[in-house]
Amino acid sequence: MHDLRDHTSDRHRSVDDVPYGGGPGMVMKAEPLVKAVEHIRATRGVPDAVILLSPQGTRFTQAEAARIAGLGHVILLCGRYEGVDERVRDLLTTTELSVGDYVVSGGELPALLVVDAVGRLVPGVVGDEQSVEDESFVRGLLDYPHYTRPVDVDGRRVPDVLLSGHHGDVRRWRKRAALTRTLERRPELLDHAELDDEERALLHGIMKEKESHERD
Ligand code: 21W
């Protein structure tokens, strides 16, 4: 973490100023960010990416997390106020990322999301590597429902198939449940999901069944 105020030269250690052309709010000054990145280059070497967190960025996705996880040295720049001086983009930034279409007060929490999502892709950070591989968004589907003991919670029972011990049936049930959920909640994900032959067949069946329900 680098405090931008350590890279200011005025008495008030200002990191923001009024916008040229007028208007509400304050703008992050360019020089503290430029000097902070210069300090990091001098002490830590040339970064592989300088990422500006901003509402104007392209969407941060699992694919982008995987790309960043393959880099060695990454700087995340966080803004506050109305935005950062445009020359920070021109001079420093290699990538501009948004975490979604909602407003937060600054880039710090978005940066922590990036750190968390990227960090867990670094070998050794998550104990169980398999769980990272299988993950819903890696394959482009929502996850299937999970259950643990006890079998009955307020009369809601665990589906029998999960107690059956038939591993093939369990696998198919989970695939079907993941596809059903994705179709119901996030159908746009299916446009890009990597489905195997069995999943394609299951999805076909689910959609057929849905059609027949819609008719009656
Ligand atoms: C929020 C700065 C809103 C400026 C049009 C013109 C980083 C963020 C941020 C922030 C405004 C991210 C306006 C998703 C986010 C971030 C602070 C603009 C009004 N509209 N991902 N002026 N959402 N946000 N204010 O807010 O720095 S990544």
Contact 25, 82 (CB under 8 A): yes
Q: What is the pLDDT of residue 131?
A: 72
Q: Match 């890696």 to its residue by tokens.
A: 138
pLDDT of 130 higher than 70: no
CB 51 within 8 A of CB 84: no
**Strands 83-84 and 49-59, how do they pair?**
unpaired
Range list of β-strands (E), the chain: 16-17, 27-28, 49-59, 74-78, 83-84, 95-98, 152-153, 156-157
Residue 128 pLDDT more than 90?
A: no
Q: Rounded mean pLDDT of 194-201?
A: 97
Copy the structure tokens of residue 137. Answer: 């968004």
How far does the centroid of ligand 1 lie from the alpha carbon of residue 92, in Å?
19
Q: Would you state the pLDDT for residue 126?
A: 77
User: Does position 186 have pLDDT exceeding 80, yes or no?
Assistant: yes
Between CA 23 and CA 18 the distance in angstroms is 8
Identify the pLDDT of residue 138. 72
Cis peptide before 150 (omega within 30 of 0): yes
Mutation test residue for ligand 1: of 15, 53, 103, 105, the one with most atoms within 8 Å of CB: 103
Place of tokens 């670094």: 122
Give the span between the Cα atoms of 34 and 42, in whole angstroms. 12
83-84: strand order across its sheet: 16-17, 27-28, 83-84
**What confidence category does residue 203 fall into, taking pLDDT thresholds of 50, 70 and 90?**
very high
Ligand 1: which residue has its CA nearest to atom 22? 82
The secondary structure element, H or E, covering residue 90 is helix 86-92
Q: Once rounded to an integer, what is the mean pLDDT over residues 129-139?
A: 70
The residue-averaged pLDDT of 171-192 equals: 98
pLDDT category, 133, cuts 50, 70, 90?
low
Determine whether the shortest distance from the Cβ of 16 to ligand 1 is under 6 A: no
Query: To the nearest whole percent, how much of the chain has pLDDT over 90?
Result: 90
Q: Provide mean pLDDT across the span 103-122.
A: 97
Q: Is the pTM of this model over 0.75?
A: yes
What are 12-63's pLDDT values in tens digits? 999 999 999 999 999 999 999 999 999 999 999 999 999 999 999 999 999 9
Asked whether the predicted pLDDT for residue 125 surpasses 90, the reply is no
Rg of the chain over all Cα atoms, to the nearest angstrom:
24
Ligand 1 pocket: which of 53, 88, 89 to mutate (most atoms <8 Å of CB)?
53
- Structure tokens, 152: 């009955």
